[in-house]
Structure 1
Amino acid sequence: MDPFQQMSDWKRNLDHFFGEQFWNQFEGILKPTIPQINIYQTDNEILCIASIPGLTDLDKVDIYVDHTTLDLRGTIDIGFSAGTIVKEEILQGVFDRKLPLPFPVRSDKIKATYHNGLLYIQLHRLISDSSKKNRVKVELLEEN
Structure 2
Amino acid sequence: MDPFQQMHEWKNNMDQFFGGNFWNEFEHIIKPPIPAINLYELDNELIGYISLPGMENSKQIEVYVDEYVLEIRGQLSPIKQSGKMHHQEILQGDFSRKIDLPFAVRKDRVSANLRNGLMCIHLHKKMDNTRKRKRVNIENEEE
Bin of the TM-score, shorter chain as denominator length: 0.7 to 0.9
Task: Give yes or no for the alignment of 1:125 onto 2:125.
Answer: yes
TM-superposition CA deviations, 1:42-69 (whole Å, max 9, x none) = 1111011111011122111000000010
Q: Indicate yes or no: 2:133 matched with 1:134.
A: yes
- Displacement, 1:133? 5.8
Q: Given the two structures, how large is their TM-score scaled by the length of structure 1?
A: 0.81
Q: Between the two proteins, what is the percent identity of the paired residues? A: 36
Alpha-carbon spacing, 1:15–1:115, altered in 2? closer, same or farther (3 Å): farther
Q: Distance in 1 between matches of 2:54 and 2:10?
A: 37
What SS does the corresponding residue of 1:43 show, helix, strand or coil?
A: coil
TM-score when normalising by structure 2: 0.82
1:43 aligns with 2:71: no
Q: Structure 1 residues 14, 43: CA separation in 2 closer, same or farther (over 3 Å shift)? A: farther
Distance of 1:114 and 1:125 partners within structure 2: 22
Distance across 1 between alignment mates of 2:53 and 2:76? 7
Asked if 1:114 is matched to 2:114, the reply is yes
Give the structure with the higher percent helix. Answer: 1
Alignment check: 8 A CA contact 2:63 2:72 kept: yes
8 Å CA contact retained: 2:56, 2:115? no
Gaps of 5+ in 2: 1-5
1:85-132: CA deviations, max 9, x gaps? 1221111111100110010001111010011210111100000213x4
User: 2:16 aligned to 2, 12, 20, which one?
Assistant: 12
- Number of residue pairs aligned between Structure 1 and Structure 2: 133
* Partners of 2:55 and 2:116 within 8 A in 1: no
Give the Cα–Cα distance (whole angstroms) in 1 for the partners of residues 50 and 77 of structure 2.
Answer: 15
User: Unpaired runs of 5+ in structure 1?
Assistant: none
Hey, what's the Cα distance between the residues in 1 that align with 2:119 and 2:11?
37
CA–CA separation in structure 2 for the residues paired with 1:112 and 1:6: 39
- List 4+ stretches of structure 1 deviating above 3 A: 3-7, 136-140
